[in-house]
């Protein structure tokens, strides 16, 4: 049989389907059917239409498959993120509260622990310093009794008074025009009492369980008192060491204290002054005495016997608070 010419191919009803020149890859568009010589125009049109529909269907299936894969990937990533968040939340719920009050309580407890550590370390430093001073034969001399008391270095015990201020009861009396702010103790109320006691000759003072010195600052946030990093709730107690009669006279003469006492009668604010027969005691100051945002002009006497230029000075007199304890803070 003579060899067929390369350009000649079998055709007709007995012709085998010809393989495309390029290997058909999955998803690759199929070649358009060749026109069959001798076929009617309607047959050729039908074949072209069927081929176009076939390509459209394959394109739609491919697009649907890609969309399904994308949605699945997004859902898988979202599930992994939710799982990680759930594990993280479940791991911290038992260790850290999520409410504001619980967080505040945790921070207060943490601050108390750190304050105890600071006090222990300060005592250790003082003991080591004293040991080193004794070993070299040096003798530390105080600037004076008045300086030690005014600086809060030592605890003080003596005659004095206590003043307690408290919020008004919820079911107490009300006057016309009284608002919620009139029913709580404010910062200026505490400042009025403390300033009046200083003016009355108080030698040492404490607010709650902390020593008040020249650099002490407190702030009222709502009905909570913040003093040197610690928070307190009413009633607020001020303790002053000094002549009780002079302290009481100073409270009675202070106009700001009289204004507060007028609201005591109007809305039931708490105000109680006691004069313990056994005397009162204020603790030593246990905070830092370094000033960060203020300075004293040179030559100014900031404490009895101590001037701001740093020169050594001696006490100008003997304080009447001879009742002080020798324990250091």
pTM more than 0.75: no
Strand, coil or helix: what is 313? coil
pLDDT in tens, 272-314: 999 999 999 999 887 776 666 667 788 787 766 667 664 433 3
Rounded to 10 deg, the angle between the 187-199 and 244-253 helix axes is: 130
Return the pLDDT at 11: 45
pLDDT in tens, 194-243: 999 999 999 999 999 899 988 888 888 777 888 877 888 899 999 999 99
CB atoms within 10 A of CB 237: 17
Tell me if 237 sits within 8 A of 164, measured CB to CB. yes
């Amino acid at each position: 049989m003579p060899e067929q010419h390369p350009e000649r191919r079998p055709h007709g009803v007995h012709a085998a389907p010809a393989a495309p020149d390029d290997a058909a890859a999955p998803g690759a568009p199929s070649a358009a059917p060749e026109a069959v010589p001798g076929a009617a125009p309607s047959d050729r049109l039908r074949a072209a239409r069927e081929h176009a529909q076939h390509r459209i269907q394959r394109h739609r299936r491919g697009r649907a498959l890609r969309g399904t894969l994308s949605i699945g990937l997004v859902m898988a990533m979202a599930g992994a993120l939710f799982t990680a968040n759930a594990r993280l939340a479940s791991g911290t719920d038992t260790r850290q509260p999520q409410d504001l009050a619980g967080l505040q309580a945790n921070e207060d407890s943490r601050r108390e622990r750190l304050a105890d550590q600071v006090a222990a370390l300060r005592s250790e430093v003082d003991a080591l310093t004293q040991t080193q001073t004794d070993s070299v034969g040096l003798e530390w001399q105080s600037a004076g009794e008045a300086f030690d008391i005014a600086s809060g270095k030592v605890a003080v015990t003596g005659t004095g008074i206590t003043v307690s201020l408290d919020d008004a009861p919820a079911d107490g009396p009300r006057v016309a025009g009284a608002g919620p702010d009139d029913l709580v103790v404010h910062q200026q109320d505490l400042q009025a009492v403390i300033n009046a006691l200083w003016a009355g000759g108080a030698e040492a003072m404490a607010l709650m369980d902390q020593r008040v010195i020249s650099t002490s600052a407190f702030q009222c946030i709502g009905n909570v008192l913040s003093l040197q990093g610690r928070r307190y709730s009413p009633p607020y107690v001020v303790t002053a060491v000094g002549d009780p009669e002079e302290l009481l006279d100073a409270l009675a003469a202070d106009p700001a204290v009289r204004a507060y006492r007028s609201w005591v009668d109007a809305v039931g604010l708490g105000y109680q002054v006691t004069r313990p027969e056994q005397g009162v005691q204020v603790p030593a100051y246990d905070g830092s005495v370094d000033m960060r945002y203020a300075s004293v002009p040179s030559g100014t006497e900031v404490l009895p016997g101590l001037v701001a230029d740093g020169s050594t000075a001696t006490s100008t007199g003997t304080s009447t608070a001879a009742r002080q304890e020798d324990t250091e803070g």
